[in-house]
Structure 1
């Protein structure tokens, strides 16, 4: 089957009660390993490409590698997704260049500016049959070469999500509940000690996740 968007993939995941793996790729071996394993497990998959991966491996090479994976693993749905697109231009390049999904991450901007940038990407993407993931709140960690310290990370404000989704028209939403990602670990001074004296990282805000889910039921 050809590359797909995540719309139907997410709907089936919700109905079936399972998660979908989204893996970052930047060379042939990684693309092969992920897609061949998913083929064996009959599992849908999202192949993610970051701004850094596009700079390292070249946009065209990456797209052709994924197209080869689609041909070699014809029984599973595959999404080609831009991970943490930093601006409209990057998203447009990926939309024009064969991606079926893009993320615009303007979460570091003020709320109104995040809406404005995201809406611009959504309008262009939807005109080209591509879906858009947006972000509210900031994850601690490293996104490409940009480090976000834990004390700078901000939780998603549930009271903003309905307005944001309504005004931008985005297809899915990344939220921040205290997670950390990338080559980043919490430092001792960012942690607290439990009753046994063991250092523990800042807690995950599952209450934020639950409140967002209530406000956007069934929304990815």
Structure 2
């Protein structure tokens, strides 16, 4: 099946009042697992490659090409998204490497610098036909995190969010409402009233980063209050790593333990994709 765009999937989910999962791709096995799960569940999904994952592969082109090829062969509606980009040179590679969308991450900068950086990047990206996500507030768990994601001072302010969207022209806004990156347990607590207030203040879909640490019932509740794109990464890595650890003592053939990791991720993603009805 031909790749669809992130804009199509987010728009469909938003219209249906549901969510669409954006799942992190680090290895080819991640992409294969996500595609297989989407086929099994009969749901769309966004395959996203972060700037860090691109650096791990020595550049984005190889892992993007492999991921796009897997998506093309899948019998599911899949999109390709470039995530957490603060390197403008990498951003400029997005159109030629198959991405339909990008997340410009200037969230660690002071507000005025965040706006200026994001606006400039969004203007260029829109000229290339890319859908643009950005972040206001600060979702914890990143190496340069200035504070805990659970502190009130790093939460997204609804009024500031409205101003930010107007000034930058972004298509979606990632918000800090209590989630945190790299959580292996679902112990985060979302401020659902804040999600509602931000939704009422801004005209674009909202994005939840760090969703691996959020209880599933809270993810469902958040999608009813304005969260549309839900990013998942750590949950896949936990499943992958646990399966590999169990299988490595049984074989020196990497295909055996990598396949076990891929199968474990497929099971996890299938369950996550079935959180909501499919957005047609």
Output the TM-score relative to the length of structure 1.
0.82
Gaps of 5+ in 2: 207-280
The answer to whether the 8 Å contact 1:44/1:78 transfers is yes
Per-residue deviation, 1:147: 4.8
Corresponding residue of 1:27: 27
The answer to whether the 8 Å contact 1:2/1:70 transfers is yes
RMSD (Å) for aligned C-alpha atoms = 2.3
Q: Say whether 1:216 aligns with 2:216.
A: no
- Residue by residue over 1:63-84, the C-alpha shift from the partner in whole angstroms, topping out at 9 and shown as x without a partner, is 11122112211x4222211111
Residues 218 and 147 from structure 1, CA distance in 2 versus in 1: closer, same or farther, beyond 3 angstroms?
A: closer
Secondary structure in structure 1 of the residue aligned to 2:18: coil
The answer to whether the 8 Å contact 2:68/2:80 transfers is no
Gaps of 5+ in 1: 186-199
Q: Say whether 1:101 aligns with 2:87.
A: no
The answer to whether the 8 Å contact 1:87/1:106 transfers is no
The answer to whether the 8 Å contact 2:81/2:99 transfers is yes
| Range with greater deviation from structure 2 (26-35 or 14-23) | 14-23
Corresponding residue of 2:179: 179
Corresponding residue of 2:72: 71
Corresponding residue of 1:195: none
- Greater helix content: 2
- Greater strand content: 1
| Range with greater deviation from structure 2 (157-166 or 129-138) | 157-166
Q: Say whether 1:141 aligns with 2:127.
A: no
Per-residue deviation, 1:20: 1.0
Corresponding residue of 2:236: none
Per-residue deviation, 1:153: 6.4
Corresponding residue of 2:51: 51
Give the Cα separation in 2 of the matches to 1:180 and 1:70. 28
Give the Cα separation in 1 of the matches to 2:72 and 2:79. 13
Corresponding residue of 2:17: 17
The answer to whether the 8 Å contact 2:65/2:97 transfers is no
Residues 53 and 153 from structure 1, CA distance in 2 versus in 1: closer, same or farther, beyond 3 angstroms?
A: farther
Residues 147 and 119 from structure 1, CA distance in 2 versus in 1: closer, same or farther, beyond 3 angstroms?
A: closer
Q: Say whether 1:169 aligns with 2:169.
A: yes
The answer to whether the 8 Å contact 1:88/1:120 transfers is no
- Residue by residue over 1:177-213, the C-alpha shift from the partner in whole angstroms, topping out at 9 and shown as x without a partner, is 121121578xxxxxxxxxxxxxx87x53222211111
